[in-house]
Structure 1
């Protein structure tokens, strides 16, 4: 304790003046703690005012953190999270059970997916949009194998094994210009292909000119009729109906051994139709509980 005329080199101590006119010497740590406490209280008041008034913004110091106490509450403030499934029925069951006012389902037909935004809210009371249900159907094994082989060079052995392996899980039908070919004959034709290389030269000699023309042709044949198209029928996704894909067969004769290529005709059209079928399935399963829209939804920051 010193006289009030006494000067001090510490500016922090000079700020605390007692009523009796005397100045007390207080440690800097105590003053810093008081300032932090007042600052924290001011932050708390600002946050409370922002919440009550609905402004949603408050001026805070850089070194002050806001802590969420929700983990210590008896219950969460609101539901949030993402439920994911590959099947329409559980997707619709969860979405209808937890849908809040304004909820909607968005079906992305191009990517064969659907998302239910359960807390989308309304124009007057928009939600946080972080409680969702996600539907992502899984491709069946026969459809996955079909997409894997589409447009790729295959040896005779590889294509024959593909026909044998998936003939039991997918219905295969073989055709050429003369009509349908039995599975056994088609398989035998694929396993045994003969490549014939024919060359023809025309030569013409004139008194003042000469003309020579060469024609070369390559022909693939087999003892059995070679199929030119394959009808491949399977369920592309678990909840979708069976679908028939028409595959065109091409024989590449450039190498020592022939290669074969299967290409799906109008694959893009199939994808579009399957997307529309998925949207109808979701709409039927939802049963009018919320709107079902074609498209996707993303939350803006």
Structure 2
């Protein structure tokens, strides 16, 4: 039979009493603080990833959380990282001056004859070192008032009064000349003829009856006449754009007799050929002003995303 040793029991009791009590304390950390720590760690990781992607020949893409906003600090620095912007003018000379002054390697000018516009891409770059193509100069020539008025009139039916007023307004400015066949008609006579037009209608009907058949034919002719010779061709001479040379546009006059009052239509002959010639003239003007500092190409340029 085993008996407890009183001495051992007393020593154990003393040891327990001498051992300090362990106190557990719980600290409540707000969720916002935890979230801020996580976001801080994510931001540091994102900065490291971006730094690796942007330095030297780093990767082209980088994985970032979709709820991150990337803030550009360029505006806070003394200088921009690179030149970029869009200059625009209606005249060839300042367009060429700006393009030459701010061109970079690989810069080129594109002239679109169909829209009568030119664009210089100053940071196009090269195949080995392509640029961002976002530093440009735009040339957008403005139509002269006389040419714009002509285009507004072209191919649209106008009343006698409206067309007469158009001729009065632009007769001297555009040096209008009037012709009926090979004969020239003076401005006063052309105006008088347009203001006083008579519509003559003639109807002729033939009828033939036989024993087994019958036929009827009807002819109607409508003719516009005037006491003065009505011009059939009008020559309209003006500068189409400020920097371009004068050009003579030949207009064909036709009269519509189906309405209650006669309607007149002026139509530019060979307008497409004029447009092509003006585009080529603009390209040559730009090429001369650029002085060989960069290539001038016929066409347009659009940066692919």
TM-score normalised to structure 1 length: 0.89
Q: Please tell me whether residue 112 in structure 1 is matched to residue 111 in structure 2.
A: no
1: CA distance between counterparts of 2:145 and 2:264?
A: 22
1: CA distance between counterparts of 2:226 and 2:22?
A: 119
Select 2:36's aligned residue among 33, 38, 46: 33
Give matches, 1:62-211, under 5 Å: 62-211=66-215
2: CA distance between counterparts of 1:69 and 1:237?
A: 43
2: CA distance between counterparts of 1:35 and 1:228?
A: 84
What is the match of residue 10 of structure 1?
none
What is the match of residue 243 of structure 1?
247
2: CA distance between counterparts of 1:35 and 1:215?
A: 94
Q: What is the Cα deviation at residue 207 of structure 1?
A: 4.4
Q: Please tell me whether residue 43 in structure 1 is matched to residue 46 in structure 2.
A: yes
What is the match of residue 293 of structure 1?
297
Gaps of 5+ in 2: 1-20
1: CA distance between counterparts of 2:38 and 2:181?
A: 92
Q: What is the Cα deviation at residue 187 of structure 1?
A: 1.0
What is the match of residue 11 of structure 2?
none
Q: What is the Cα deviation at residue 210 of structure 1?
A: 3.8
SS at match of 2:250: strand
CA displacement 1:201-245 (0-9 Å, x = unmatched): 233344444433222111111111110111111100000111111
Q: When the two structures are aligned, how many residues end up with a matched partner?
A: 283
Rate the CA distance shift 1:30–1:159 in 2: closer, same or farther, 3 A. closer
What is the match of residue 288 of structure 2?
284
2: CA distance between counterparts of 1:81 and 1:273?
A: 31
2: CA distance between counterparts of 1:254 and 1:216?
A: 13
1: CA distance between counterparts of 2:150 and 2:59?
A: 56
2: CA distance between counterparts of 1:261 and 1:87?
A: 33
2: CA distance between counterparts of 1:143 and 1:187?
A: 21
2: CA distance between counterparts of 1:236 and 1:300?
A: 33
TM-score normalised to structure 2 length: 0.88
Q: What is the Cα deviation at residue 277 of structure 1?
A: 0.6
1: CA distance between counterparts of 2:146 and 2:208?
A: 58
Gaps of 5+ in 1: 7-22
Select 1:261's aligned residue among 261, 265, 275: 265
2: CA distance between counterparts of 1:202 and 1:67?
A: 89
Q: What is the Cα deviation at residue 61 of structure 1?
A: 1.8
Compute the RMSD of aligned alpha carbons. Answer: 1.8
CA displacement 1:148-169 (0-9 Å, x = unmatched): 1111111111111010011122
2: CA distance between counterparts of 1:210 and 1:26?
A: 114
CA displacement 1:45-86 (0-9 Å, x = unmatched): 111111124213222122332211111100111111100111
